[in-house]
Amino acid sequence: MVGGLLLTRPRRLNFTLFRHGARRFSSEIHKTQPIKSILVANRGEIAIRVFRACTELGIRSVAIYSEQDKMTMHRQKADESYLVGKGLPPVQAYLNIPDIIRIAKENNIDAIHPGYGFLSERSDFAQACIDSEIRFIGPSPKVVQQMGDKIAARQAAIQAGVPVVPGTDGPITTAEEAVEFCQQHGLPVIFKAAYGGGGRGMRVVRNLKEVASSFERASSEAAAAFGNGAMFIEKFIERPRHIEVQILGDNSGNIVHLYERDCSVQRRHQKLVEIAPAPNLDPVIRDQMTSDAVRLAAHVGYSNAGTVEFLLGEHGRYYFIEVNARLQVEHTVTEEATGIDLVQSQIRIAEGVTLPELGLIQENIEVKGSAIQCRVTTEDPAKNFQPDTGRIEVFRSGEGMGKLFHM
């Protein structure tokens, strides 16, 4: 992952400056619980990002690492580190909920940050933390489960009055049901895994003869990736813009948005370029979209950081598609464009501090610049750009007059 072109670098709000002042003020209104230590149930760049926030807030940072990752950078950056999932492959080690909870309890950890990927959208992990009296830095288990279920998230959007793409009311489990839907609503359609994301199990179908076979392939891929082959089917919006709205909620019911990102440049349903704010977005549509995101978040009782995603089609019509109930890879461009540190905000919210106490009132949040993030992928062009691995031997960042680049 490499940060890209930054057109304007705004001054970052320094929450450390008013950390103690905010706590004294909040104690007169509601109880806060300072966090003294945070374990990051993740590795790599996101673990290091959270450790940085911990250092800036004076909080002890704790890493976990698999046997294969004992020499990786994230372990070196933490104040403490512990081996997780001994004898397991790397991915399984970081998914070992009982071992992570054991490490946290044995070492008097106050809170766990899941990062992104791995356990970040697992409601059972969030619940396991709470059951062990460890704060989970993220939404409640109920909201994580509801937003992770595309059907439930869609129903919540409908109830909140947020426009959705025409699609199935519930999970589809057979090719016959898929054919029936397509015959009734027409083509093209897109198949999506009902209980997973990240592009796994996605298929766009334009020919009725290919519906059954495409459904079987998509369902099989979803079952392999998520343990459940149920599919969600919706009308496919041709050449839309993909707009996502960053939200923050506290434990007192306050919700704000930090404007939007454009992630329309994708390949195989994977985002390659993120721009904040979305260029050339009609201000009227921006206001409507951000208002809908906040309304949906309030409807489900959302707390902490999250992203509400929309597809923007022709003639200014947009549709809700999903909620990512976690911090996203691309959170950094929103931080650069608004000057607000999202990870520090997550931690302070988990302590019980409210958004107004953090100075995060909607009318005070504004875009102060633009930022672009480019995702660098490892692929083999000789094999139709299939994912590949290898060592980066040479890297040169772009540079030019009047532009600031950083990594």
Q: What are phi and psi of 285, to 5 degrees?
A: -65, -40
Catalytic residue selected from 19, 326, 348, 375: 326
Q: Which amino acid is at 61?
A: S
Please give the Cα distance from 165 to 188 (Å, whole number): 13
Specify which residues 63 forms β-bridges with. 40, 81
- The two structure tokens encoding residue 87: 């004898």
Please give the Cα distance from 295 to 261 (Å, whole number): 18
- The two structure tokens encoding residue 172: 């589809």
Q: Which helix (H) or strand (E) holds 260?
A: strand 255-262
- The two structure tokens encoding residue 332: 């950094």
- The two structure tokens encoding residue 148: 């992770």
Please give the Cα distance from 331 to 258 (Å, whole number): 10
CA-to-CA dists, residue 199 to 18, 142, 190, 214, 232, angstroms: 41, 24, 11, 15, 13
- The two structure tokens encoding residue 372: 């672009």
| CB atoms inside a 10 Å sphere around CB 168 | 20
| CB atoms inside a 10 Å sphere around CB 372 | 19
Region at 374 (left for phi over 0; alpha for psi -120 to 50; beta for the rest): beta
- The two structure tokens encoding residue 169: 């009311």
Longest C-alpha distance within the chain, in Å? Answer: 66
Quote the strand ranges of 35-145, DSSP E. 37-40, 60-65, 80-83, 111-113, 135-136
Could you give the strand order of the β-sheet that contains 231-235, starting from the edge strand earlier in sequence?
Answer: 203-205, 189-193, 231-235
- The two structure tokens encoding residue 318: 């947009």
The verdict on whether 43 is a catalytic residue reads: no
Q: Catalytic residues, which ones?
A: 326
